[in-house]
Amino acid sequence: MTHKIILDTDPGIDDAMAIFFAFQCPDIEVLGLTTVYGNVPVSMSAQNALTLCELADQDIPVTKGVGMPWVGPESGYAHFVHGDDGFGNIDFPPSNRQLDPRSAAQFIVDTARENPGDVTLVAIGPLGNLALALRLEPDLPKLVKGVAIMGGAAFVPGNVTPVAEANIWNDAHAAEIVFAADWDLTMFGLDVTNAVPFTPDFLDDLAERNEKLGGFVKESSQFYVDFYSQGREDRVCFFHDAMPLAYLVDPSLFELTTGHVKVATDPLNRGQTSVAPIGSTMSPIWLEASKINVATKVDHAKLSKLYLDTYAL
């Protein structure tokens, strides 16, 4: 079965790896890239998405989305993780292609209306575009097939604060809106993405399987590996963003649990995604909270093989 998706992204090195994975997958049709601030400002995020599409010979719409959190001032960015250019400072020439003139949220709504029941929204950055699309079209949950996100930390610590993962922390109010909506949402958080370190050998293999796209990921990841290897004996990095896509292709790679979710927006706990597994509580405040699926385990060996095999296609 082919999954029609809109990929909402803030490229970003692991975003680039995920975008190429999606392009390479025969079972995934990417209808468009919608971009958001996060790892980098939104204008750079949009430009980077155009550049990745050109490199991969993909002629699909790319739209620019929100550049600010739902509430509060402009964010700091993760240049210390992804480099000044979002691609690990490799000096890659930017594309001259043009953006689709619509906002990301409008593109999501238009595309969902044109393909009722068929589109999965895959979000691998902060959730402002999805929240805005829900405001533009309150019936969006009925129009899309489902939502798969990289973000959150259900039963493990965060990576920005002790309790919050970066994508959710970056726009906690937007995440609260998206998690509360009445749609089938599956969360791939640090519970699974931090469980799977990738070594330089994996990057060599990726580049060997696909010189152009794997080669780009290998080159841009050197900075990313430096960041993740600080204070460790080994050299590793984490490709968080490809996991919701891998799930679409092969759900058997993951174990999921269903639970009621709440997103904290208060300053101390901002961005915390607390999950009460079904049956674990009788507390009314939790029973009223919306239900989501949360990935709790992933098969590392099979996931790596899927990435390598797909890049080789």
Binding footprint of Ca ion on the chain (CB under 5 A): 10, 12, 15, 124-125, 241
CB of 170 to ligand BDR, least distance (A): 8
Beta-bridge mates of residue 35 = 9, 64
User: In the annotation, is 300 catalytic?
Assistant: no
Placement of tokens 């090195």 in the chain: 13
Per-residue exposure over 95-114, b if at least 16 CB sit within 10 Å of its own CB, e if not? beeebbebbbbbbbbbbbee
191 lies in the site for ligand BDR, by CB under 6 A: no
CB of 120 to ligand BDR, least distance (A): 17
Dig out the tokens for 282 from the structure. Answer: 């009788």
Considering CB distances under 5 to 8 angstroms, the limit depending on partner class, which of ligand BDR, Ca ion, none binds residue 165? ligand BDR
Measured distance CA(170)–CA(167) in Å, rounded:
5
22 lies in the site for ligand BDR, by CB under 6 A: no
Instruction: Between 150 and 177, name the residue whose CB sits nearer to ligand BDR.
Output: 150
User: In the annotation, is 240 catalytic?
Assistant: yes
Dig out the tokens for 81 from the structure. Answer: 């993780």
Measured distance CA(205)–CA(189) in Å, rounded:
25
Q: What angle do CA 124, 126, 131 make, to 5 degrees?
A: 105
Measured distance CA(215)–CA(233) in Å, rounded:
25
**Pattern of binders to ligand BDR over 23-42, x per CB under 6 A?**
----------------x---
Q: Which residue is nearest to ligand BDR (CB)?
A: 166
The amino acid occupying position 294 is: V
Catalytic one of 3, 8, 10, 171: 10
Considering CB distances under 5 to 8 angstroms, the limit depending on partner class, which of ligand BDR, Ca ion, none binds residue 166? ligand BDR
| Residues lying near ligand BDR in the complex (CB under 6 A) | 12, 14-15, 39, 78, 81, 124-125, 150, 159, 165-167, 240-241
Catalytic center residues: 10, 240
